[in-house]
């Protein structure tokens, strides 16, 4: 090592606070179909299994839930704000079942809005990322790894190349 190299300050390592998305399903063939399209996204992995299984194996901090599932699993209470998601602590009974510490619950839309899969994917993913960013900025605890079902991102209704392009765009915009 030269004296110039020895005198340089060590490179500062800043932890990446981009939430890691774990797509999970009991349908292994669906995940295998999606994997090639998500390989280029460093914040995305795939896990076969149910919520509690994936929570343990992938060390999930949170699980995405639709509004109705959020009421049941995480105690979310209506009314829900439009186009928004919220983080809820997991009730002790669900923690005992193996669920992660938090649920990210959303997203309400008005009756006038269409049901286009591209728009739904953008809405769910951006609302989830914003809710996690807000939670992480206000809490000592951090949500780093969040699990979500492919259906909740409309991945069965979209061409995979389109879906994963949208995921990349939303992550770039929300990071």
Look at residue 1 and tell me if it is in a domain.
no
Look at residue 8 and tell me if it is in a domain.
no
Q: Are the beta carbons of 170 and 126 closer than 8 angstroms?
A: yes
Look at residue 80 and tell me if it is in a domain.
yes
pLDDT tens for the chain, residues 1 to 175: 444 444 443 333 334 578 999 999 999 999 999 999 999 999 999 999 999 999 999 999 999 999 999 999 999 998 999 999 999 999 999 999 999 999 999 999 888 887 899 999 999 999 999 999 999 999 999 999 999 999 999 999 999 999 999 999 999 998 7
* Structural domain range at position 94: 17-174
Residue in 175, 20, 36, 155 with CA at minimum distance from that of residue 166:
155
How confident is the model at residue 115, as a pLDDT?
84
Number of domains, the chain:
1
Look at residue 10 and tell me if it is in a domain.
no
Structure-token pair, residue 171 = 């992550």
Q: Check residue 82 and report its DSSP letter.
A: B
Look at residue 7 and tell me if it is in a domain.
no
Report how far residue 123's alpha carbon sits from residue 121's, in angstroms, rounded to the nearest whole number. Answer: 5
How confident is the model at residue 114, as a pLDDT?
76
pTM of the model: 0.88
Structure-token pair, residue 123 = 């809405």
Report how far residue 136's alpha carbon sits from residue 140's, in angstroms, rounded to the nearest whole number. Answer: 7
Report how far residue 44's alpha carbon sits from residue 114's, in angstroms, rounded to the nearest whole number. Answer: 28
Look at residue 4 and tell me if it is in a domain.
no
């Amino acid at each position: 090592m030269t004296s110039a190299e020895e005198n340089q300050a060590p490179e500062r390592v800043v932890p990446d606070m981009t939430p890691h998305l774990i797509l999970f399903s009991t349908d292994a063939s669906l995940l295998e179909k999606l994997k090639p399209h998500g390989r280029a996204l460093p914040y995305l992995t795939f896990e076969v299994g149910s919520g509690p299984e994936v929570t343990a194996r992938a060390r999930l901090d949170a699980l995405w839930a639709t509004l109705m599932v959020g009421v049941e699993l995480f105690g979310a209470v209506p009314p829900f704000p439009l186009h928004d998601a919220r983080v809820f602590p997991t009730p002790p009974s669900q923690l005992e079942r193996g669920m992660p510490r938090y649920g990210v619950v959303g997203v309400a839309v008005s009756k006038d809005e269409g049901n286009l899969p591209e728009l739904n994917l953008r809405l769910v993913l951006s609302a989830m990322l914003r809710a996690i960013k807000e939670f992480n900025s206000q809490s000592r605890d951090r949500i780093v790894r969040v699990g979500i079902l492919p259906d909740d991102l409309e991945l069965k209704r979209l061409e995979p190349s389109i879906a994963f392009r949208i995921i990349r765009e939303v992550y770039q915009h929300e990071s």
